[in-house]
Structure 1
Amino acid sequence: MRLSPLILAGLIGTPLMADTYPRQPGVEVQHYVFRLEVTDQSDGLLGEATVTLRLREDGVKAVILDLASVKAGRGMAVRSVSLAGRPVPYTHEDGRLKLALGAARRAGDVLVFEIRYGGVPAAGLKFLVNKHGERGIFSESWPDRAHQWLPVMDHPSAKATAEMVITAPAHDQVISNGRLIETTDLPGQRRRTHWKQDQPLPVWLYTVGIGHFAVHRTTADALPLESWVFPQERESGWRALEDTARQVLGFYSARIGPFPYDKLANVEAAGITGGMESATAISYGEAAFDGRPMTSLVAHEIAHQWFGDAVTEADWDDVWLSEGFATYLTDCFLEHAQGREAFVASLRKERAQVISEEAARPDTPVVHRNLSDTGKVLNAFVYEKAAWVLHMLRNQVGDAAFWRGLQAYFQGHRHGLATTADVRHAMEAASGQNLEPFFHQWLDRPGIPKLQGTWRYEAEARQLVVDLRQTQAGEAFQMPLSLSLGLGGRVETVLLSQKQQCFTFPMSEAPAFVEVDPNTVALIDGPGRLDPPSR
């Protein structure tokens, strides 16, 4: 997910650390089929859901799904629940739909529930008018708003395949995840459209877009590539999306691995800001279609198809595995497409955003601490600081090992779940290094090094003396730091390990300057050049 700057301004992951979502370890959701009907006359929906579950443990007595209750006229009302054609006792309170199983069940049992419901969504699915004055219906389920319109397990760990069977007015088109199975015209100027997603996804990636579109279909190295834009952006929208998407797909496929899905559609949407990486059918907010290049936005959302979509964080504490990866891979694509200067400019901008966020939230690590409020899941740490962590990791292990590790991490967790520890293990295997101290320092510990320093040239000893001080609260960070000594292109690397250190370098004459981190590889808050000696 890529947020606008205005919105964004607003211990290593282990089984012992997790967000507070109430898990059901005895239940595994496998597949959903959602049959939804919408009309021009209402901002509500009629729904039928087929939910296929598998029990992992003996003795499970009930299954709980997330589904918004009705409050102030908005929410979903359940009309009936059945299992194998028989009514199922249920309760629906405070957004939790509890389904009683009755007789004792055994591990391995597969249960197929049929749920009939309907209502006006309070969130998650928006009925609105786009910037051209045309009605449309668009989903926005991030981070846990899918249950506002669908009966689901609304958590990233509950990945499942799904089908969307949408009956809408015949003058509308419908886009969703996966492959198009059916379009059938029905009586009463209605049309049924059926999409099927064959690879498992977390439910916040399930998407629906209903409205008027100009659709262009082409390929990118045999991958079906579609552009769905409002008819008013027919030519400009297609151009903004397709050329960039084709380049991005080629770069990521070569660096990480083949595209993990059967198609990619890029979709203009109303009601969202920035982009949403809904697998195989990415949504881009209508405001982005203003004639300016969409390079970074498209690169960010497509990167998520690998990281966040195919490889999904096991809980909200590790959301950096989505956003940090997409942010840094966007930087890497900019370097590939536009050159080193564009790459460095993006990194410096991101470093400034981290420094600003540190001032506002000084005690916030990248990996969340048992997150309980999903409204606070996103910040500059999980985007920009996490991207910088990957950048520093790449410089620590080396370019070849970094990309090998990234490929192994992707292949090892493709269409599954992952944790921070999984990234570390893949990178350790690729590099042969113990990376636990690195991961702990940059992901679990809040803050970044705040650096101050001075230098002086001692003519009699023919040496340069550089004094460096880490002024942040707490213990010293340990990290390599490069210094450009301002004479003949000389660059030296020192190891920061204490709050105050003095480094000496033999030099035949005084340098013109001493520059910190000349190659932009260190996440520090400090001057680009150290103060010269006072005169």
Structure 2
Amino acid sequence: MLRTRTTPRPGASGPKPSHRLRTAVLASAACVCLVAASAPAPTPLGIGDRLFPHLGNPGYDVTAYDLAFTYSGSNGKPLPAVTVIDARTTDWLEQVNLDHAHGTVRSVEIDGQPVEFRSAGEDLVLTPGAPLPPGIPVRITVRHDSDPVSTEEYQSGWVPTQDGLAMANQADAGHRVFPGNDHPSDKAMFTFRITVPEGYTAVANGLPAGQTRRAAGTTWTYRTTHPMATELAQVSIGRSAVPRRSGPGGLPLRDVVPAKDRERLEPWLRRTPDQIAWMQEKVGPYPFETYGVLIAEARTGFELETQTLSLFERELFTRSEYPEWYVESIMVHELAHQWFGDSVSPRTWSDLWLNEGHATWYEALYAEEKADRPVEARMKAAYRASDTWRKAGGPPAEPKGAEPGEKLSIFRPNVYDGSALVLYALRQEIGRPAFERLQRTWVRTHRDGVAGTADFTRLASDIAGRDLDGFFRAWLYGEKTPPMPGHPDWHSAAPAGAS
């Protein structure tokens, strides 16, 4: 998912990127309504994710979000916002918990009726007038501020740019932008309504659904036509150019770039159609309604596969020391995520290896085919480092939790090249034809859905025609890297401090 720079770009210098990544720990600034003495004490809940236990909330399933933001032209001011959540209850609910951690809440309604609300950790806890039974539709309307200001760099889901804002909500910062069920296992449809002053352009996930001009500014509306996880939401506000072109099969493409850089960046933008065609040859039809790259003049330390509109730092395309093959392979990494991670979303954050491993795999395969950078050489280097990576970050499918105050530290080398190494070993084990059939079947079977490690290993065994449980148990959960099929001469260097 997130393409952090755990290894420096060719020729890169300066501090390690992880030092520049934003953290996501901030107490909620939600205002508190007066609550009847009989109401239960608010408690932060979660769905029990091993890495982020308080993310998500039990008792309901979100079907749609309608998000409205009003931007004043200043990154130093909160954006007045209205979040409308359509959901269906799955259990009796005396209270409804929403993930929410930043920005004042002014009022909350359930089905048009005002309700009490209080903060609890990074949850906003709503108390309806009567318990909600299971199996009913519920509409929650929250009027709040969405605050782009953070006390530390890159804590917020909003990323300030030179001319406006963008979003980077992975892994758990979506609820710093809008209240919701902020776990990738609960995907929903999205509508965005962004009001901006004259001279600004707003773009979001999905397809445009109209503009409304008023004295206060222009409201740009966008809608997705496929469900999306909250961590993949994207809104770009800036003095932007939006070049458009057609992709394979007439797929509508739109990019978002600083207007001043439109001509300079065009040589990179026009490579996207061929990259999509290349990915389609590997895994099948592109899964969404549109695609494009959002190039932001901001320093984040990562690129991000926000659905249908991947986020990139401007400097990736403007610094001359980055070879063309490298830049293109990073573009393909985020593109590959549209299949692996966006269309097929992780059931839990421990399934992260499925997303980053596959994106890294196609990044490496593209570099091999287009720039003569052999996959085998890259995998051999990864094998040498693999035991060290496993000791530092855990095995691919059971990664260690984030470091205190650094939630993005779950994005360690073992979920990138270490997980791509698992896929290389699998191809060695079952053969190229079966491996390629597995890739195509995986994205077709789980399109627009949620899937996890057990789903992948079961499908791999079915396609291989034999039980692969032992193979996967060793490669995905072992403390030591297993022998590489077909390469008995490969060795993993002992981790520092190992006896």
Interval containing the TM-score (normalised by the shorter chain)? 0.7 to 0.9
- Specify whether residues 29 and 195 from structure 1 end up closer, same or farther in structure 2 by C-alpha distance, changes over 3 A only: same
Write the deviation string for residues 438-458 of structure 1: whole angstroms up to 9, x where unpaired: 11111111232xxxxxxxxxx
SS of equivalent residue, structure 1 residue 396:
helix
- Specify whether residues 56 and 65 from structure 1 end up closer, same or farther in structure 2 by C-alpha distance, changes over 3 A only: same
1:91 is matched with which residue? 118
1:124 is matched with which residue? 156
1:126-205 aligned within 5 A? 126=158, 128-130=160-162, 135-188=163-216, 190-205=217-232
1:378 to 411, 417, 421: 411
Q: Conserved in 2, the CA contact under 8 Å of 1:366 and 1:446?
A: no
Inter-partner Cα distance in structure 2 for 1:442 and 1:20: 24
Inter-partner Cα distance in structure 2 for 1:143 and 1:362: 20
- Specify whether residues 125 and 169 from structure 1 end up closer, same or farther in structure 2 by C-alpha distance, changes over 3 A only: farther
Write the deviation string for residues 149-179 of structure 1: whole angstroms up to 9, x where unpaired: 2111111112111111101112111111001
Inter-partner Cα distance in structure 1 for 2:156 and 2:314: 17
Inter-partner Cα distance in structure 2 for 1:230 and 1:355: 43
Measure how far apart 1:125 and its partner are: 4.1
2:379 to 341, 344, 347: 347
2:300 to 272, 276, 283: 272
Inter-partner Cα distance in structure 1 for 2:455 and 2:247: 31
- Specify whether residues 363 and 164 from structure 1 end up closer, same or farther in structure 2 by C-alpha distance, changes over 3 A only: closer
Inter-partner Cα distance in structure 1 for 2:49 and 2:67: 33
SS of equivalent residue, structure 2 residue 227:
strand
Q: Quick one: which amino acid aligns to residue 396 of structure 1?
A: E
Q: Quick one: which amino acid aligns to residue 343 of structure 1?
A: V
Inter-partner Cα distance in structure 1 for 2:434 and 2:270: 32
2:463 to 427, 430, 442: 430
Inter-partner Cα distance in structure 1 for 2:464 and 2:139: 46
1:502 is matched with which residue? none
SS of equivalent residue, structure 2 residue 211:
strand
2:77 is matched with which residue? 43
- Specify whether residues 370 and 25 from structure 1 end up closer, same or farther in structure 2 by C-alpha distance, changes over 3 A only: farther
Q: Quick one: which amino acid aligns to residue 429 of structure 1?
A: D
1:223-372 aligned within 5 A? 223-243=251-271, 245-269=272-296, 270-290=298-318, 291=320, 292=322, 293=324, 294-339=327-372, 341-351=373-383, 354=386, 357-358=389-390, 361-362=391-392, 364-368=394-398, 371=401
Write the deviation string for residues 466-496 of structure 1: whole angstroms up to 9, x where unpaired: xxxxxxxxxxx455444xxxxxxxxxxx6xx
- Specify whether residues 62 and 17 from structure 1 end up closer, same or farther in structure 2 by C-alpha distance, changes over 3 A only: closer
1:219 is matched with which residue? 246
In the superposition, the TM-score normalised over structure 2's length comes to 0.83
- Specify whether residues 153 and 17 from structure 1 end up closer, same or farther in structure 2 by C-alpha distance, changes over 3 A only: closer
Write the deviation string for residues 182-240 of structure 1: whole angstroms up to 9, x where unpaired: 1222104x111111112111111001111122222111111112222222322231211
1:53 to 84, 87, 94: 87
Moved more, 301-310 or 197-206: 197-206
SS of equivalent residue, structure 1 residue 201:
coil
2:424 is matched with which residue? 391
Write the deviation string for residues 365-388 of structure 1: whole angstroms up to 9, x where unpaired: 112368476443210111111000
Measure how far apart 1:119 and its partner are: 5.0
Write the deviation string for residues 382-434 of structure 1: whole angstroms up to 9, x where unpaired: 11110000011011101110111111111221111111111111111111121
Inter-partner Cα distance in structure 2 for 1:186 and 1:49: 21
- Percent of paired sites with the same residue: 25
Inter-partner Cα distance in structure 2 for 1:128 and 1:277: 18
Inter-partner Cα distance in structure 1 for 2:387 and 2:261: 38
Q: Conserved in 2, the CA contact under 8 Å of 1:319 and 1:377?
A: no
Inter-partner Cα distance in structure 2 for 1:109 and 1:371: 36
SS of equivalent residue, structure 1 residue 210:
strand
1:27-38 aligned within 5 A? 27-38=60-71
Greater share of strand residues, 1 or 2? 1
Inter-partner Cα distance in structure 1 for 2:57 and 2:339: 27
Provide the aligned C-alpha RMSD in A: 2.4
Inter-partner Cα distance in structure 1 for 2:100 and 2:132: 24
- Specify whether residues 210 and 17 from structure 1 end up closer, same or farther in structure 2 by C-alpha distance, changes over 3 A only: closer
SS of equivalent residue, structure 1 residue 50:
strand
In the superposition, the TM-score normalised over structure 1's length comes to 0.77
Q: Quick one: which amino acid aligns to residue 53 of structure 2?
A: Y
Inter-partner Cα distance in structure 2 for 1:371 and 1:362: 11
Higher relative contact order (CA 8 A, sep 6+): 2
- Structure 2 unaligned runs (5+)? 9-15, 20-46, 495-499
Moved more, 328-337 or 79-88: 328-337
Q: Conserved in 2, the CA contact under 8 Å of 1:156 and 1:312?
A: yes
Q: Give the number of equivalent residue pairs.
A: 441
Inter-partner Cα distance in structure 2 for 1:44 and 1:271: 21
Q: Conserved in 2, the CA contact under 8 Å of 1:128 and 1:271?
A: no
Write the deviation string for residues 45-102 of structure 1: whole angstroms up to 9, x where unpaired: 1011101110122x2222111111xxxxxx3111111122211121123221111233
Inter-partner Cα distance in structure 1 for 2:157 and 2:284: 33
Inter-partner Cα distance in structure 1 for 2:126 and 2:389: 44
1:113 is matched with which residue? 140
1:454 is matched with which residue? none
Q: Conserved in 2, the CA contact under 8 Å of 1:267 and 1:283?
A: yes
Measure how far apart 1:350 and its partner are: 3.9
- Specify whether residues 356 and 287 from structure 1 end up closer, same or farther in structure 2 by C-alpha distance, changes over 3 A only: farther
SS of equivalent residue, structure 1 residue 192:
strand
1:2 is matched with which residue? 3
Measure how far apart 1:300 and its partner are: 0.3
Measure how far apart 1:248 and its partner are: 1.9
2:40 is matched with which residue? none
Measure how far apart 1:260 and its partner are: 0.6
Q: Conserved in 2, the CA contact under 8 Å of 1:185 and 1:191?
A: yes
Q: Conserved in 1, the CA contact under 8 Å of 2:73 and 2:164?
A: no
Measure how far apart 1:352 and its partner are: 5.4
SS of equivalent residue, structure 1 residue 158:
coil
1:374-523 aligned within 5 A? 374-448=407-481, 477=482, 479-482=484-487, 516=489
- Structure 1 unaligned runs (5+)? 69-74, 449-476, 483-493, 495-515, 518-522, 527-535
